[in-house]
Amino acid sequence: MDVRRIKGRPVSIDYGSTQAFFEARGQRHYANPLSATMYQDEQPELVAARDQAEKQRVSSSLVLTGIGKVLDIGCGVGRWGWFLVEHCPGLRYLGVDFSASLIEQAKRESGSRNLEGLDFQVMSATRLEPDALLLPEPFDLLLISGLLIYLNDEDCAKVLRDAAHLCAPGGAIYLREPVGIEERFTLDRFYSRELADEYSAIYRTVDELRSLMSGALQGTEVAIEQEDVLFPDSLEKRAETRQYFFILRRAEGGQ
């Protein structure tokens, strides 16, 4: 039995090792810079295909017109900012991440693309400070893309509640996660040959994510508007997981 792969039962993961993992990845060079957080280090073309497919799918489901301010929680290298600033005239985007090296890479990448309206800030998703954000609330769109997998259950609930309170009435929250197909399983400082490093992650089932949202969003006037599998089979590599997304919407009259 592999003691680093725990199935079925909840197990807490250590954030210190997770931060060290991402700080190291933020300092490496990749054929595709998106690999820093999307992995597939030896398949840059797969990374590009997944990035394009996700953005096309989500942009067709979200109403991008009228979006003025965006908060990307756990922004990595800022890939959503690159996309949104080109599709939303006058957009102001703020990406936050707990990894200083990823934030530095995000700044370099946006600068190399000569993109305006993008700001990046080092801040942990589990300790969001609204008054300290470079861009003031509320936000028309919040992005939580591939973040909850690295958080324990109680912090997932906190991030979702914080996002709901930062969301403008009528605004949306995009949530995307790799999910366990049959059951929850946890990788606890698991060594990946593909990544040449140890990492920790929690793959929850879709039902578990729905349950987390139900509790965390109670009383916030935020509800699930849409959900579905994100990628076709041709863009998936793992037998035990699939990428799944939710679009949440806050009621127009939300306080």
Higher per-residue pLDDT: 193 or 150: 150
- 243 falls within a domain: yes
- How many structural domains comprise the chain? 1
- 107 falls within a domain: yes
- 255 falls within a domain: no
Inter-residue contact 11 to 195 (CB < 8 Å): no
| Mean pLDDT, all residues of the chain | 92
Is the pLDDT score of 230 beyond 80?
A: yes
Q: Residue 253 has what DSSP assignment?
A: T
Q: Residue 155 has what DSSP assignment?
A: H
- 96 falls within a domain: yes
Q: How far is residue 199's CA from residue 68's CA, in Å, rounded to a whole number?
A: 36
Kindly report the pTM of this predicted structure: 0.94
- 36 falls within a domain: yes
Number of alpha carbons in the 13 Å side-chain half-sphere of residue 59? 14
113 by DSSP, 3-state: which? coil
**Strand order through the sheet with 5-7:** 5-7, 185-192, 197-203
CATH of the domain at 106: 3.40.50.150
Position 117 confidence tier, pLDDT thresholds 50, 70, 90: very high
212 φ, ψ (degrees, to nearest 5): -60, -45
Is the pLDDT score of 1 beyond 50?
A: no
- Which structural domain range is residue 48 located in? 5-250
pLDDT in tens, 80-105: 999 999 888 899 999 999 999 999 99
- Burial of residue 116 (CB within 10 Å: 0-12, 13-18, 19+) is exposed
- 181 falls within a domain: yes
Task: Please state, in angstroms and as integers, the Cα–Cα distance from residue 22 to each residue in 35, 77, 84, 162, following that order.
Answer: 11, 11, 24, 23
Is the pLDDT score of 253 beyond 80?
A: no
- 172 falls within a domain: yes
13-27, 184-198, 238-252, range with the lowest pLDDT: 184-198
pLDDT in tens, 24-48: 999 988 888 889 898 888 889 999 9
- 73 falls within a domain: yes
pLDDT in tens, 171-223: 999 999 999 999 999 998 888 887 778 889 999 999 999 999 999 999 999 99
What percent of the chain lies above the pLDDT cut of 70?
Answer: 98
